[in-house]
């Protein structure tokens, strides 16, 4: 099947990207094929080659797009001000809501870790790697600033505080399936919100300096 009648090049490219994301998040990079993507998009494989040079190029396009969305969400977090507890609560909430509303981002992360043993594939992820490294560095630096200001305990290492923050929120979207934590009659979104509220309280009570 060729390009659909009346479909522009831009629309065809967008359809290929959308189909690729569905296939990659379902099958991973190794399990996906251009034939599968072509079938999902309802086009010929040759048309994919017209827009993208290879499966690797498509994979990179998907990752860069999703990590760009992630970077925008992080920029929003870092731009927040206000008192320390309010700032950290907003950080938790913004990051949690991004992960909840973009499950495809998490699935891509899991596939990258499962297939390569790490989040970033050497040689294919220079741009993605730079984005992630920059965001991590900013997060650690923001944590150190809160420590300098006397808001967060200085006996804890900033890098591990930030790692715990990321891990607590990311892992929830695995744990909620494994542990079946929703109570009878409780909607998943309500369970998510209760987890977020409890996690914020546990985390902040543990890392913040207690004022007397």
Region 27-55: what's the mean pLDDT?
Answer: 90
189 pLDDT above the threshold of 70? yes
Output the pLDDT for position 93.
92
67 and 136, same domain (yes or no): yes
Output the pLDDT for position 124.
47
Output the pLDDT for position 85.
92
Output the pLDDT for position 7.
62
Please name the residues in contact with 65: beta carbons below 8 A apart, sequence gap of 6 or more: 17
66 and 18, same domain (yes or no): no
Output the pLDDT for position 161.
95
CA angle (24, 25, 28) in 5-degree steps: 55
- Please give the model's pTM, rounded to 2 decimal places: 0.77
The answer to whether residues 49 and 133 touch, using CB atoms and an 8 Å cutoff, is no
Any domain includes 173: yes
127 and 179, same domain (yes or no): yes
How confident is the model over 62-97, as pLDDT tens digits?
A: 888 888 888 888 888 788 778 899 989 988 998 899
- CATH number, domain with residue 155: 1.10.357.10
pLDDT interval class at 35 (50, 70, 90): very high
The last residue of one of the domains, among 9, 33, 52, is: 52
142 and 64, same domain (yes or no): yes
55 pLDDT above the threshold of 50? yes
40 pLDDT above the threshold of 60? yes
The number of domains in the chain is 2
96 and 199, same domain (yes or no): yes
164 and 113, same domain (yes or no): yes
Output the pLDDT for position 122.
43
Any domain includes 163: yes
- CATH number, domain with residue 37: 1.10.10.60
pLDDT interval class at 1 (50, 70, 90): very low
106 and 163, same domain (yes or no): yes
Average pLDDT taken over every residue of the chain: 85
Tokens at 48, concatenated = 């994919």
172 and 146, same domain (yes or no): yes
68 and 48, same domain (yes or no): no
Any domain includes 156: yes
Separation CA 77–CA 138 (nearest Å): 11
Cβ atoms within 10 Å of 98's Cβ, excluding its own: 19
135 and 77, same domain (yes or no): yes
How confident is the model over 10-25, as pLDDT tens digits?
A: 888 999 999 999 999 8
Three-state SS at 195: helix
pLDDT interval class at 5 (50, 70, 90): low
Q: Is residue 140 classed exposed, middle or buried when 0-12, 13-18 and 19+ CB atoms within 10 A define those classes? A: middle
Q: Which helix (H) or strand (E) holds 196?
A: helix 188-207
Output the pLDDT for position 145.
94
164 and 65, same domain (yes or no): yes
Cβ atoms within 10 Å of 53's Cβ, excluding its own: 10
97 and 195, same domain (yes or no): yes
Output the pLDDT for position 126.
66
Any domain includes 212: no
User: Domain limits at 32?
Assistant: 1-52
Cβ atoms within 10 Å of 194's Cβ, excluding its own: 14
**Which position has the higher pLDDT, 203 or 175?**
203
How confident is the model over 114-172, as pLDDT tens digits?
A: 776 555 444 445 677 777 788 889 999 999 999 999 999 999 999 999 999 989 998 89
Region 109-116: what's the mean pLDDT?
Answer: 76
Q: Comparing C-alpha atoms, which of 7, 3, 14 is closest to residue 42?
A: 3
């Amino acid at each position: 099947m060729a390009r659909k009648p009346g479909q522009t090049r831009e629309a065809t490219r967008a359809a290929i990207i959308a189909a690729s994301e569905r296939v990659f998040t379902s099958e991973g990079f190794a399990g996906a094929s251009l034939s599968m993507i072509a079938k999902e998009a309802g086009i010929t494989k040759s048309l994919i080659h017209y827009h993208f040079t290879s499966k690797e190029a498509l994979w990179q396009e998907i990752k860069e797009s999703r990590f760009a969305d992630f970077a925008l969400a992080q920029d929003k977090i870092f731009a927040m001000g206000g008192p320390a507890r309010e700032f950290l609560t907003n950080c938790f909430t913004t990051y949690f809501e991004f992960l909840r509303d973009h499950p495809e981002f998490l699935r891509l992360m899991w596939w990258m870790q499962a297939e390569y043993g790490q989040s970033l594939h050497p040689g294919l992820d220079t741009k993605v790697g730079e984005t992630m490294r920059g965001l991590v560095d900013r997060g650690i630096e923001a944590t150190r600033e809160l420590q300098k200001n006397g808001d967060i305990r200085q006996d804890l290492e900033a890098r591990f505080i930030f790692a715990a923050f990321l891990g607590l929120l990311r892992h929830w979207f695995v744990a909620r399936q494994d542990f079946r934590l929703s109570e009878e009659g409780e909607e998943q979104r309500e369970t998510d919100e209760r987890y977020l509220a409890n996690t914020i309280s546990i985390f902040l009570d543990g890392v913040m300096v207690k004022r007397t």
